[in-house]
Structure 1
Amino acid sequence: MSDFLRVCALEELPQSQAVRADIDGTQIALVRIGDRVHALYDECSHAAVALSEGDVEDCALECWLHGSRFDLETGEPTGLPATVPVQVYPTQVREGDVYLSLTPKSTETQKA
């Protein structure tokens, strides 16, 4: 738990929208679904543009430029043209605050 950094209050994140956050120099796209927060590296693996400027639909974040879609849980592409996943990061909500670890989830953890 010591590697988790406080990001913001949960209530500051809008529902089902991506928000860009700079966490110690790493650009992260945060997405709140209910009381759960997902965190992905904020760069499309296909076109290197900010995913946080895209749309959220059905537990996926869609890149605004070419329409690549990424699963919020795993970072896996679920829509072309992207074929390479983006990193996802562990988050926690504690006492109304959002915390994030900059240690990416491993592929094994994401698929479990």
Structure 2
Amino acid sequence: MEKPFVPVAFVEEIPIGQFRKVDVDGRSVIVARTANGVFAVEDLCSHEDYPLSYGCLDGDRIKCSLHGSRFNLATGEPLEEPATAPIATYRIEIADGRIWLDPTVPDKRS
């Protein structure tokens, strides 16, 4: 895989239904593996800037443990209040059993 992608984990290191927090270019990113694929999102709830890594996965959603907001892992869109703003998502590629993340400007829908 060529730049800007950087390796963040081997696929088998993250069981389906779990995630890993990684630091990329000084930012905390959650790399989650679900039955539908591998996703990467920023590690901050858009409601209170609380780490989403304290929360849990719920299918293809991540739940903030502070107030219960859930976010779609593929789009970053909030699915439940109190969060109303999306979280950033990052592009992921899988090659040779590794998960590669594009750390350039994440996609943050407004």
**Would you say how many aligned residue pairs link Structure 1 and Structure 2?**
107
Alignment of 1:59-78 (within 5 A): 59-78=60-79
Mapped partners of 1:2, 1:99: distance in 2: 10
- Matched residue, 1:58: 59
Instruction: Tell me what 1:100 maps to.
Output: 101
Q: Tell me how far apart the structure 2 counterparts of residues 51 and 106 of structure 1 sit (CA, whole Å).
A: 16
Superposed, 1:28-47 pairs within 5 Å as 28-34=29-35, 36-47=37-48
Counterpart residue identity of residue 55, structure 2: G
CA shift, 1:35, in A, is 7.2
What are structure 2's unaligned runs of at least 5 residues? none
- Long gaps (5+) in structure 1: 108-112
Deviation string, structure 1 residues 67-112 (Cα, Å, up to 9, x no partner): 01100010000011000100000001101000000122364xxxxx
Distance in 2 (CA, whole Å) between partners of 1:47 and 1:105 is 19
Point out the structure with the larger helix share: 1
TM-score (norm 1): 0.88
Q: What corresponds to 2:25 in structure 1?
A: 24
Check whether the contact 1:30–1:52 (CA below 8 A) recurs between aligned residues. no
Among the aligned pairs, what percent are the same residue?
37
The runs of at least 4 consecutive aligned structure 1 residues that moved more than 3 Å come to none
Residue type at the aligned position of 2:95:
R
Corresponding residue for 1:5? 6
TM-score by length of 2: 0.89
